[in-house]
Amino acid sequence: MTEEIKKEESPTEGEIETPEVSNEPEVVEEKEDVQSSDVIEGEIETPEVVEEKGIVESSLRKDIPDVQPGDTVKVYQKIVETKDNKTKERIQIFEGVVLARKHGKGVSATITVRKVIDSVGVERIFPIHSPFIEKIEIVRSSKVRRAKLYYLREAKGRKARLRTKEEKVASLGE
């Protein structure tokens, strides 16, 4: 009896089952509940993305000046020191020339600042919107014709100088 059951379960050569195939194309329904305000540059924004943008915009700092390459800036950075389970916070000032500004104007925007100490060049990259940046102060602006001033790394003496921008004073009636 067990042999008969096994024969019934396994198909023989002529009894192979084939699935039914229909020649009709499948119709897939598309959802058109996307509003035109949700589409930006060809991307569909989900509620999670909109909420994330709100969080990102809230973390942007409004008190940061428009820093350009060639500007001499003072960056006031908070430094947290821990010694013997005591935390102490102080402000460190880094003054130098802005070589580059990268990553746009969003949360991840950074500036590269270079200064020379005892004939040794020191560069630091500061995230502009970081909570550890107390403030950024523009000391002087220079006229440059490049977006990235990496050539200042090798420049010595007179070639390392940048021309200061002449302030245009608008006078009315004169």
Distance, CA of 171 to CA of 144 (rounded, Å)? 26
Q: Is residue 30 part of a domain?
A: no
Positive or negative torsion for Cα 40, 44, 46, 49: negative
Backbone conformation region of residue 70, classed left if phi is above 0, alpha if psi is from -120 to 50, else beta: left
CATH number at residue 107: 2.30.30.790
Pairing of strands 133-140, 120-127: unpaired
Q: Is residue 59 part of a domain?
A: no
Q: What's residue 58's pLDDT?
A: 78
- Which residue segment(s) compose the domain that 107 sits in? 72-146
Q: Is residue 17 part of a domain?
A: no
* Tens place of pLDDT per residue across the chain (174 aa): 555 555 555 555 555 555 565 566 555 555 555 454 444 455 565 555 555 667 777 778 888 899 999 999 999 999 999 999 999 999 999 999 999 999 988 889 999 999 999 989 999 999 999 999 999 999 999 999 999 999 989 888 887 888 877 665 444 444
